[in-house]
A = this chain, B = another copy of it.
Amino acid sequence: MYASLKDVAAHAGVSFQTVSKVLKGAPVAVSDATRARIHAAAEELGYVPNELARGLLRRSTYSIGIIADDLEDWAMAQFVVGAEQEARSNGHAVMIGTALGSDGLAYLRQLVERRVDGVLSAAPRLEKHAEIGAVLRERIPAVGLHHFPGGGIPVVGSSHSQTGRQVATHLVELGHRAVGMVTGPRSRRVVATRSKGFRAGLADGGVELPVDRVVETAWSAEGGFAGASELLDRDPAVSAIFAHNDLIALGVLSALHQRGIRVPDDCAVVGCDDMPFSAYLTPALTTVRIPMRETGQRAMSLLLDRIRGEEVESRVNLPTELIVRESTAGSSKEKRKKR
């Protein structure tokens, strides 16, 4: 099917080693005529080098494995795109697999069998998976978007507690005191950290967050709707709700609307992630921008450094930014500010 160096060599009447050298431009003494013949033969046969054979010899494949757990999540997709682009601009190919739970180990094994040079983990669902953590720590250079049990794997991301704090400070400044929160699944570390930061930020402003004003739900609009409904059943008087991402926030807005609670006049809402639609919700959503694309890029770049044997930081934090829009607009008189 594919022409090999030997085929090209036979066509050009030289040895395949010579073809190899000529085609990759090595400094080898070959007459111009032969050189031309070789190139012509390669062209004619449609020769494409075989990276498998190269990799075998070189003992490095110039490829990176990415473990994702939910490409449908916009934030994750951003991360992956950033990482993939960084890898490819450095000549590395990328293998991506979605590891849903326990098959993560099987996928990881596949990556090792294919001898990827390194692994990037964008799968928070695996953050409790000790076995995967061990493999990544001991057998192969890795970088994560999240921690693994036992540590030892550099993490690139943003400070979730900082994020929580930013939101809390904003709400405190607006004078809110009856504050609620709709979180993602509590088993996720980001949820715990973000909550903690939020709580601490509120405390700094003298505001308390009782546990019954915190509801846990899934990372979805549906979850946000259900979560906010429950929160409002428990305490109809909340004047501000922090949703752990924009999709949840969207559901929260929907629940509030259904009950005739006006945003921001009766209740303010803050999301997280600054998803591409958030500026166009009604009302436009106040949120925290987390630079996921850049995070992916940095993570990959760190991983490539590690593969090259350089010393790298064990933790990189990228700053997040609070983006204030209508859903918390203090006076509710401000007009829509785009993005």
Contacts and interface: CB of A to CB of B under 8 A. Distances in A.
Contact of A113 (B48, B110, B225, B277): B48
Given A258-B336, A280-B254, A96 B114 contact: no
Contacts of A56: 50, 52-53, 56
A77 B77 CA distance: 8
Interface residues of A, number: 59
Interface stretch (A79-87, A157-165, A182-190, A194-202): A79-87
Contacts of A52: 52, 55-56, 61, 114-115
A154 B111 CA distance: 29
A144 interface: no
A21 interface: no
B84 A96 contact: yes
B96 A94 contact: yes
Interface in A41-72: 46, 48-53, 55-56, 59, 61, 63, 71-72
A126 B142 CA distance: 33
A93 interface: yes
A112 B280 contact: no
Interface in A301-333: none
A257 interface: yes
A110 B72 CA distance: 26
Interface string A80-122: 1100110010000111111000000001011011110000000
Contacts of A85: 98
Contacts of A279: 221-222
A247 B220 contact: no
Nearest to A107: B88
Contacts of A50: 56, 113, 115
A42 to B, nearest CB: 14
A50 B53 CA distance: 12
13 contacts: A48-B113, A56-B56, A63-B95, A85-B98, A93-B110, A94-B95, A222-B276, A222-B279, A222-B338, A224-B280, A247-B277, A254-B282, A258-B336
Interface of A: 1-2, 46, 48-53, 55-56, 59, 61, 63, 71-72, 74, 77-78, 80-81, 84-85, 88, 93-98, 107, 109-110, 112-115, 139, 220-222, 224-225, 247, 250-251, 253-254, 257-258, 276-277, 279-282, 284, 336, 338
